[in-house]
Amino acid sequence: MSGEEEENAAELKIGDEFLKAKCLMNCEVALILEHKYEQLQQMSDDAGNHVSQVFEKSQQYVKRFSRYKNPDAVRQVREILSRYQLAEFELCVLGNLCPETVEEAIAMVPSIKTKGRAHDDEAIEKMLNDLSLIKKFE
Amino acid sequence: MFLKVQLPWNVIIPAENLDAKGLLLQRSIIIRLLEDFAARKATKDLGYYLAVTTLESIGEGRVRQQTGDVMFPVVFSGITFKLYRGEILEGVVHKVLKHGVFLRCGPVENIYLSHLKMPGYSYMPGENPVFNDKVSRIEKDIVVRFIVIGTKWLEAEREFQALVSLEGHYLGPVS
């Protein structure tokens, strides 16, 4: 990150390397950590493998804060949000917080309305409707 | 925010473990990588180190002259967690003090929400101290949605602290 530009996720100023990094939603991380945990349990005869504090606290967190639990639903959420030309960071904040209105979505991710980007209210509304449908049928 | 990162790493296998060949050696390398990874805990750039997801490659081992250990350069993918200034997240209150509350979010315990950043809330002391406004309460175990206004990396403890705020629309306790 350059020294001149102060970090500000609301404006998507998070450092060039992170703009291109893959971000994960809580529900995606929950599935990965669950799988990892099972794997580590199987390896537990070697080197006394138990999970780190960081792993444990994170797993507790994502279990509680996942809006979608079913792996197919999680995949669908990623797929739907990917259609809307969002940065990875923006996509994950929306998938985590599941705003209910266009107004709330813009408050959670202000950068979708700035930088001369073509996200009109209708497109955002459609996106939120698609997300809530997944929730209904989960 | 949870990040998926790809990192190079040098795994050092002590001389006595080098009798193993093929799959057993690979297993030693993986176990060692997982141990090193867990021990690292966090870095300033990538945040908290959660889990290794895939081992992408293991390079040729190089003998370290002094010790007889062999160093294997590997590349792996993993998940980390980092808080960004301006990011909006949800966390859980775990301590209530007169001047503010401490929240927990992901692996981070030291997230401070000052009373000055809770517009409209007043402190009510008691056995279960709470911050009240006209319609809601901020107390232990409540989920709060906040915005990050600053983060600090503590090199010695290898952890982050954060300052957060409820100033903004759609922020505050979540039912």
Q: What is the DSSP string of chain B?
A: -EEEEEEEEEEEE-GGGGG--HHHHHHHHHHHHHHHHHHH-EETTTEEEEEEEEEEEE---EE-TTT--EEEEEEEEEEEE---TT-EEEEEEEEEETTEEEEEETTEEEEEEEGGGSTT-EEE-SSS-EEE-SS-EE-TT-EEEEEEEEEEEETTTTEEEEEEE--STT-EEE-
Q: Are the Cβ atoms of B169 and A29 closer than 8 angstroms?
A: no
Closest by alpha carbon to A24, among A72, A57, A62? A62
Q: Contact at 8 Å (CB) between A12 and A111?
A: yes
What is the average pLDDT across B22-38?
Answer: 87
Report chain B's mean pLDDT, rounded to a whole number: 93
In this predicted structure, the answer to whether residue A47 has a pLDDT above a threshold of 60 is: no
**What's the pLDDT tens digit per position in A111-131?**
988 766 666 888 899 999 999
What is the average pLDDT across B100-124?
Answer: 97
CB-side neighbour CA atoms (13 Å) of B92: 13
The shortest C-alpha distance from A137 to chain B (Å) reads 22
Rounded to two decimals, what is the model's pTM?
Answer: 0.91
Q: Which residues contact A53 (CB under 8 A, 6 or more apart)?
A: B107
Q: Is the ipTM of this complex over 0.85?
A: yes
Largest interatomic CA distance in chain A: 56
Q: Which residues of A touch B146 (CB under 8 A)?
A: none
Token representation of residue A113:
């309305």
* Core vs surface per residue A37-67: b (16+ CB within 10 A) or e: eeeeeeeeeeeebebbebbebbbebbeebbb
**What's the pLDDT tens digit per position in B117-148?**
999 999 999 999 999 999 999 999 999 999 99
Chain B nearest-CA residue for A9: B86
In this prediction, residue A1 carries a pLDDT of: 37
Q: Are the Cβ atoms of B50 and A96 closer than 8 angstroms?
A: no
Q: Which residue has the higher pLDDT, A44 or A104?
A: A104
Mutate one of A6, A11, A54 to test the B interface: name it (highest B CB count within 10 A): A54
Q: Are the Cβ atoms of B38 and A32 closer than 8 angstroms?
A: no
**What's the pLDDT tens digit per position in A62-116?**
999 999 999 999 999 999 999 988 999 999 999 999 999 999 999 999 998 876 6
List, in sequence order, every residue forming a beta bridge with B58; answer none if it has no partner. B74
Q: Contact at 8 Å (CB) between B33 and B55?
A: yes
pLDDT tier, B16 (very low <50, low <70, confident <90, very high otherwise): confident
In this prediction, residue A3 carries a pLDDT of: 41
Q: Are the Cβ atoms of B31 and A47 closer than 8 angstroms?
A: yes
What is the average pLDDT across B65-70?
Answer: 88
The share of chain B scoring above pLDDT 90, in percent, equals 86
Q: Which residues of A touch B35 (CB under 8 A)?
A: 47
Chain B nearest-CA residue for A62: B106
β-pairing, B42-43 with B47-58?
antiparallel
User: Smallest Cβ distance to B41: which of A29, A54, A109?
Assistant: A54
Q: How many beta-carbon pairs under 8 angstroms link A with B?
A: 110
